[in-house]
Structure 1
């Protein structure tokens, strides 16, 4: 456990009166080839360097980041702070970073992102004094997205769709993602922060608690990052989908009043043509594995033929099949599967009725 560079090579220690207004926090794991790019972009911000700091938590990288970042800090105008921990997952690393941060406003981003020069300024502007906002920024595609695997381009496609929806309909806690989000540190601490026991979806779970505590979740289209990834393994991508199914199941047990995070919603929200495949993945998790692989083979073929729409839809179905296998594994028994599906239907019906309540009052002329 260690604290790394606190500022540039010759920068004097800061007094309490010189505390930064903003802390940019990121976890890193085996990303020394990408991380310096982001840290140098953060050096070119429109906000004065004294107004922000950057906190990096190395989550047990095979090649420790602290030494190289100590050297990099000599050329950076802002305070760069580094902490190192044994590998405990991104949630634990981000939580440690937020607790160690000194700014009133915390921005969280990922180590494979790129940011524009007004990135920190845009987020800070969304947090006027006295506000309790959680601000989601836009995630755009890396300029090199066309060179990335199909599943990474599919993620970019989903980010684009989500940004349009959040811009039109507004955001909620269950939309929170750690690639580009900001909040007040005191609000984070008050709700307990990230849960390190969740190895996926810890961001969504935090967002739900922040919203339930009274924070207003907002989407800021102007606060954008560029997302590029070094993920290349299809097998790891499928394993990630499986973990999300497990973790979202645990998440929905905690927040059964939020049907938007229940994994069983996919049986009802996906295209009707895909539902039989999803159902068979739940009923026969093992035997239908080859179906998922065949779907991805068809997706790659469509991609090579320039049929992006078909490729993305096939990828969505393949991902969701593995996601529901994870939910099925977490449920254990058929009886428990039936209970969870019934609970989702009930929670969804209640949420739908609640969303209609204001219009009913308006139609009755009531205040």
Structure 2
């Protein structure tokens, strides 16, 4: 059996604290040191990321490399990492994740057993995450919410696209399809679409999760999902196969709610429908809250869901509607959504 050497590529921009925590978790991997390298692809950080990396070099035994460039976006940073990588297989993780000790071993096992060219893995939570992050994790991953529409192997609601927080491909496949595009949002979907269209064997490694911290405030979370709605229309304009019915449902729901709410002001039947819709929404939220309590074995994350779930659905829906009007109806150029102070 051929043994792969893995290049774990981490794009970063002013995320020194996250990099420190991620490297600490990577130091705990139960995997031969000679079979992986870690590459920090810095996109022009102005914080103390170089110092954190240098400290880690002296603290941990793994092969750690650091490369930097002027600020060009995460896709360009990942491309820099691949250009500098020495591995047979490239693995991407975001700076806001940590990994369990068996993460890389499980990826290696699955790739060899299934003779795969590329993979994607799930994201989940750590028990020490704050209640808000657990609520966001629930909304993003639960099948009861739109998180269940993101697509996994074996589920038919949406095509499975590996995501850049936990995905990888072989060096040979990279040489065939090229690197990430210049898209600011949705670039991992576009990259995965090219992987799939190449005929590569793509697998979902269910037992190789990463612990994903995501956004740390409701404001950041809203910006993130709004941008995803915007990005989905941009992806549709690039290749119509990247838009499925499930991707449009939050926008349809948003439009229906807005329309009925406006009609309810002066039309009694619409008011009845609106109140019935509120009751149904409340019931679904209650079911989600109960499910979250069983999932987390605590109450506090569930108490955030009446805010987090509407933020996700309507944030994404508004972003999709906004960019659909611009790009499809008005035929204007691409739009990236929230960009200024995106990470603040």
Short-chain TM bin: 0.7 to 0.9
Equivalence map 1:150-299=2 (5 Å): 153-161=135-143, 166=152, 168-169=154-155, 175-196=161-182, 198-229=183-214, 231-232=216-217, 234=219, 236-260=220-244, 264=248, 266-268=250-252, 270=253, 274-277=254-257
Return the match for 1:114 from 80, 95, 98. 98
Spell out, residue by residue over 1:276-322, the C-alpha distance to the aligned partner (whole angstroms, 9 max, x if none).
Answer: 136699xxxxxxxxxxxxx9xx99xx998955664454223321333
Return the match for 1:123 from 107, 117, 120. 107
2: CA distance, partners of 1:208 / 1:181 = 13
Other-structure match for 1:315: 311
1: CA distance, partners of 2:152 / 2:73 = 28
3-state SS of paired residue (1:57): strand
Spell out, residue by residue over 1:215-251, the C-alpha distance to the aligned partner (whole angstroms, 9 max, x if none).
Answer: 12221111111112463261x4333334333332221
Where structure 1 has 5 or more consecutive residues not aligned to the other structure, the ranges are 1-18, 282-294, 338-367
CA RMSD of aligned residues (A): 3.5
3-state SS of paired residue (1:215): coil
Taking structure 1 as the reference length, what is the TM-score of the superposition?
Answer: 0.69
2: CA distance, partners of 1:174 / 1:279 = 32
2: CA distance, partners of 1:332 / 1:187 = 33
Spell out, residue by residue over 1:258-280, the C-alpha distance to the aligned partner (whole angstroms, 9 max, x if none).
Answer: 43289645445x5xxx5413669
1: CA distance, partners of 2:136 / 2:30 = 32
2: CA distance, partners of 1:77 / 1:108 = 20
Tell me if 1:46 matches 2:30.
yes
3-state SS of paired residue (2:118): strand
Asked if 1 retains the 8 angstrom alpha-carbon contact of 2:235 and 2:243, the reply is: no
Q: Which has the higher contact order (CA 8 A, sep 6+)?
A: 2
Asked if 1 retains the 8 angstrom alpha-carbon contact of 2:43 and 2:70, the reply is: yes
Asked if 2 retains the 8 angstrom alpha-carbon contact of 1:58 and 1:85, the reply is: yes
3-state SS of paired residue (1:53): strand
Asked if 1 retains the 8 angstrom alpha-carbon contact of 2:153 and 2:203, the reply is: no
3-state SS of paired residue (1:77): coil
Asked if 2 retains the 8 angstrom alpha-carbon contact of 1:60 and 1:84, the reply is: yes
Taking structure 2 as the reference length, what is the TM-score of the superposition?
Answer: 0.73
Assess, with a 3 A threshold, how the Cα gap between structure 1 residues 130 and 255 changes in structure 2: closer, same or farther.
same
3-state SS of paired residue (1:240): helix
Spell out, residue by residue over 1:72-99, the C-alpha distance to the aligned partner (whole angstroms, 9 max, x if none).
Answer: 2012211100111111111111121122
Return the match for 1:136 from 120, 123, 138. 120
Return the match for 1:330 from 308, 326, 329. 326
1: CA distance, partners of 2:246 / 2:79 = 24
Asked if 2 retains the 8 angstrom alpha-carbon contact of 1:252 and 1:262, the reply is: no
Assess, with a 3 A threshold, how the Cα gap between structure 1 residues 65 and 229 changes in structure 2: closer, same or farther.
same
Asked if 2 retains the 8 angstrom alpha-carbon contact of 1:24 and 1:109, the reply is: yes
Other-structure match for 2:46: 62
Asked if 2 retains the 8 angstrom alpha-carbon contact of 1:30 and 1:61, the reply is: yes
Assess, with a 3 A threshold, how the Cα gap between structure 1 residues 237 and 278 changes in structure 2: closer, same or farther.
farther
Assess, with a 3 A threshold, how the Cα gap between structure 1 residues 44 and 242 changes in structure 2: closer, same or farther.
closer
Where structure 2 has 5 or more consecutive residues not aligned to the other structure, the ranges are 262-277, 290-298, 333-344
